[in-house]
A = this chain, B = another copy of it.
Amino acid sequence: MKVFCTQENFNKAIFNTERITGKQITLPILNNILIETEKGRLKFSATNLEIGVVSIIGVKIEKEGKITVPAKLISNFVNNLPHEGKILLEMKNQTLLLSTGNFKAQIKGLDPQDFPIIPKREDGFLFSIPAQNFKNAIMKILLCISINETRPELTGVNILFSDQKINLAATDSFRLAEEIITISDIADNYKKNLEKNNSIIIPSNTLSEVAKIITPETEKIQVSIEENQIFFLLDDVYVVSRLINGKYPEYKQIIPKTFATRAVFKKEDILRAVKIASAFTNTKAGEIAVKIDAESKKIIITAQSQETGENISQINADTTGPSQNITLNPRFVLDGINPINTSNIAFLVNNNTSPAAIKAVDEKTGKIIENHTYIVMPIKN
- A interface residue numbers (CB < 8 A to B): 70, 72-73, 76-77, 80-82, 95, 102-108, 272-273, 275-276, 278-280, 307-315
Contact = CB atoms under 8 A, between A and B. Distances in A.
Contacts of A72: 279
B272 A104 contact: no
A102 B276 CA distance: 12
A31 to B, nearest CB: 11
Instruction: For the complex of A and B, list the 9 residue pairs with the smallest distance between their C-beta atoms, beginning with the closest.
Output: A76-B279, A105-B311, A102-B314, A107-B309, A106-B309, A80-B275, A108-B309, A80-B276, A104-B312
A143 B35 CA distance: 40
A103 B276 contact: yes
A104 B107 CA distance: 62
A276 B76 contact: yes
A275 B103 CA distance: 12
Contacts of A312: 103-105
Given A102-B315, A280-B105, A80 B309 contact: no
Contact of A311 (B77, B310, B314): B77
Contacts of A70: 308
Given A76-B279, A108-B307, 11 more contacts: A76-B278, A77-B276, A80-B275, A102-B313, A103-B314, A104-B311, A105-B280, A105-B309, A105-B310, A106-B311, A108-B308
Contacts of A279: 72-73, 76-77, 80
A280 B77 CA distance: 9
A82 B311 contact: no
Nearest to A275: B80
A77 B280 CA distance: 9
A130 to B, nearest CB: 36
22 contacts: A73-B279, A73-B280, A73-B309, A76-B275, A76-B278, A76-B279, A77-B276, A77-B279, A77-B311, A80-B275, A81-B272, A102-B313, A102-B315, A103-B276, A103-B311, A104-B312, A104-B313, A105-B276, A105-B311, A105-B312, A107-B308, A107-B309
A92 to B, nearest CB: 11
A111 to B, nearest CB: 16
- Copies, count: 2
A80 B272 contact: yes
Contacts of A81: 272, 276
A280 B98 CA distance: 13
Contacts of A102: 313-315
A289 to B, nearest CB: 14
Nearest to A314: B102
A18 to B, nearest CB: 13
A185 to B, nearest CB: 42
A310 B107 CA distance: 7
Contacts of A108: 307-309
Contacts of A272: 80-82
Contacts of A308: 70, 73, 107-108
A272 B106 CA distance: 17
A33 to B, nearest CB: 14
Nearest to A271: B80
Contacts of A76: 275-276, 278-279
A77 B275 CA distance: 8
A27 to B, nearest CB: 17
A271 to B, nearest CB: 8
Nearest to A109: B309
Chain B CB within 10 Å — which of A81, A82, A102 has the most? A102
